């Protein structure tokens, strides 16, 4: 997800309409728009919230690093107070009465949200799936960052946001230890990799996970080295030395295991939330050495969020056989005309590796719950796709038939192939 803060009190009392709903637009060919609206999508990345009964503890497993304690940032326009699109979305989702819908549908509530968005399957980036998020409507993508930090992290924390993040990672690692039946840090790196890391990945796979997600860009730059095992072992055993080398070694182990188990590796790429976020460290170009490593060619990597603002650079990475991207979050933070330009470049280059996604996230419920964010991102993403295909059609780059085919590929077929879905 892309985090930012969004107080909703004023937003909910405003009553403007979404400007784009009223705009006559010839930017999208009407036949293309109709075709795109009809396609049942596979959403490559989102954070759906599990429906819970009033007597239950509210769900908090929709992210390993939830938004709660970030220092304020200058918010981008589309996510600011009073966003007319969010207000329109709130009115549109269950006719503005999510509470009534939650009562009516109970455990089927989240599935009904997908039905409303014409999304067949949503990849759910969550700590655990849980009841109310049934497969295959929801496909699990758990978090793997915590496994990279078997040593105390005080030395790598650089600001208050990271302090909160690393505390959460420590909690998640403790959970992975417990689930693996390991009571304390194993004596050797090999034992740790086998008893905790491999065991966790296998459990995830057995529970239906289709990929592992890294929120690495929130914790450290995406530049991942290729250290000697002896270096990593020394740091693991002694607790001193180059911690980054140990992290890199563990990451590579995870990436190899994911390839072996048939799970993709998802990376947050591009800008993220919080005023301390290291944008330069989120540049997807930093991943190129991984993609170029012959030993990792059996692992498929997906660069989430289209790497914005490095979307054009990311285009070139699509030629790596195991590199994919989605345009989640761009569909919510950036306007369709902007997203369409990125999409067009990708579709003109390697369209088989481009995946639709929303990053539906409960930023500030009830006005900006995962339902509203998903609603806006779904409309916006489909419009951006329509704009890109229309422009390509009008410039005589593609036929109408090819436009329809590309729409199906981006909205569902590319994801079906990548994850081996029916
Ligand atoms: Zn996300």
Distance 215 CA to ligand 1 centre (A): 9
127 C-alpha to center of ligand 1: Å?
Answer: 12
Q: Are 378 and 358 in contact (CB under 8 A)?
A: yes
Q: Which of 361, 346, 360 is nearest to 410 (CA)?
A: 346
Report how far ligand 1's centroid is from the alpha carbon of 400 (Å): 33
According to the model, what pLDDT value does residue 15 have? 37
Q: How far is the CA of 64 from the centre of ligand 1 (A)?
A: 10
From the CA of 237, how far away is ligand 1's center (Å)?
A: 34
Q: Could you tell me the distance, in angstroms and rounded to a whole number, from the CA of residue 206 to the centre of ligand 1?
A: 23
In angstroms, the CA 259 to CA 281 distance is 25
CA of 49 to the centre of ligand 1 (A): 12
The residues facing 324 across adjacent strands are 302
| Distance from residue 287's CA to the centre of ligand 1 (Å) | 19
Residue segments in the chain with a per-residue pLDDT below the cut of 50: 4-24
Contact between 410 and 42 under an 8 Å Cβ cutoff? The reply is no
Q: How far is the CA of 252 from the centre of ligand 1 (A)?
A: 22
The tens digit of pLDDT for each residue in 216-237 reads 999 999 999 999 999 999 999 9
Distance (Å) from CA 137 to ligand 1 centroid? 18
How many A from CA of 45 to the centre of ligand 1?
A: 6
Kindly give the distance from the C-alpha atom of residue 394 to the centroid of ligand 1, in angstroms, as a whole number.
Answer: 34
State the Cα–Cα distance between residues 21 and 24, nearest whole angstrom: 8
Question: 143 alpha carbon to ligand 1 midpoint, in Å?
Answer: 11
State the Cα–Cα distance between residues 415 and 123, nearest whole angstrom.
10
In eight-state DSSP terms, residue 41 is: E
Q: How far is the CA of 420 from the centre of ligand 1 (A)?
A: 22
pLDDT at 227: 98
Q: How far is the CA of 213 from the centre of ligand 1 (A)?
A: 9
Ligand 1 center to residue 47 CA distance, Å? Answer: 6
Quote the pTM value: 0.94
Which residues sit opposite 304 in a β-bridge? 268
Distance 269 CA to ligand 1 centre (A): 10
The predicted pLDDT at position 1 comes to 53
Distance 29 CA to ligand 1 centre (A): 30
Cα 360 to ligand 1 centroid, rounded to whole Å? 7
Token pair, residue 232, equals: 């990593």
Q: How far apart are CA 94 and CA 257, in angstroms?
A: 42
Question: Rounded to the nearest whole angstrom, what is the distance from the C-alpha of residue 284 to the centroid of ligand 1?
Answer: 16
Kindly state the tokens that stand for 100.
């009534």
Q: What is the pLDDT of residue 358?
A: 98
Q: Are 81 and 362 in contact (CB under 8 A)?
A: no
DSSP per residue over 135-171, as a string?
TTTEEEE-B-GGGG--S--GGG--SHHHHHHHHHHHH
| Contact between 8 and 82 (Cβ < 8 Å) | no
Residues 119/136, Cβ–Cβ less than 8 Å: no
Tokens encoding 386: 């329509």
Distance of CA 176 to the CA centre of its chain: 21
């Amino acid at each position: 997800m892309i985090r930012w803060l969004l107080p909703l009190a004023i937003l909910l009392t405003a009553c403007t309409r979404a400007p784009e709903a009223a705009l006559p637009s010839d930017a999208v060919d009407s036949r293309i728009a109709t075709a795109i609206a009809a396609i049942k999508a596979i959403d490559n990345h989102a954070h759906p919230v599990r429906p819970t009964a009033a007597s239950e503890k509210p769900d908090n497993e929709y992210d390993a690093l939830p938004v709660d304690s970030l220092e304020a940032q200058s918010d981008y326009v589309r996510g600011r107070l009073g966003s007319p699109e969010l207000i329109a979305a709130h009115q549109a989702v269950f006719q503005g009465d999510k509470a009534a819908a939650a009562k009516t549908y109970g455990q089927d509530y989240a599935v009904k949200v997908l039905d409303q968005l014409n999304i067949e399957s949503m990849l759910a980036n969550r700590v655990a799936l849980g009841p109310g998020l049934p497969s295959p409507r929801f496909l699990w993508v758990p978090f793997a960052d915590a496994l990279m930090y078997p040593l105390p992290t005080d030395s790598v924390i650089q600001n208050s946001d990271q302090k909160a993040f690393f505390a959460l990672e420590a909690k998640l690692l403790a959970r992975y230890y417990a689930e693996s039946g390991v009571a304390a840090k194993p004596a050797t790196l090999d034992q740790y990799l086998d008893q905790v890391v491999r065991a966790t990945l296998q459990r995830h796979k057995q529970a239906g996970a289709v990929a592992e997600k890294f929120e690495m860009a929130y914790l450290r730059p995406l530049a991942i080295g290729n250290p000697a095992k002896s270096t990593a072992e020394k740091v693991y055993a002694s607790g001193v030395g180059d911690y980054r080398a140990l992290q890199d070694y563990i990451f590579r182990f995870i990436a190899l295991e994911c390839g072996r188990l048939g799970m993709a590796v998802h990376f947050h790429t591009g800008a993220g939330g919080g005023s301390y976020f290291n944008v330069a460290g989120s540049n997807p170009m930093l991943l190129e050495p991984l993609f170029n490593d012959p030993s990792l060619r059996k692992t498929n990597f997906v660069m989430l969020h289209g790497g914005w603002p490095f979307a054009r650079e990311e285009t070139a990475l699509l030629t790596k056989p195991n590199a994919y991207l989605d345009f989640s979050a761009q569909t919510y933070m950036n306007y369709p005309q902007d997203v369409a330009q990125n999409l067009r470049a990708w579709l003109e280059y390697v369209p088989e590796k481009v995946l639709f996604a929303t990053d539906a996230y409960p930023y500030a419920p009830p006005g900006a719950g995962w339902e509203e964010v998903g609603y806006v991102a779904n409309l916006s993403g489909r419009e951006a796709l329509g704009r890109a295909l229309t422009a390509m059609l009008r410039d005589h780059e593609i036929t109408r038939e090819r436009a329809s085919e590309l729409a199906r590929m981006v909205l569902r077929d590319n994801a079906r192939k990548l994850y081996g879905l029916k």
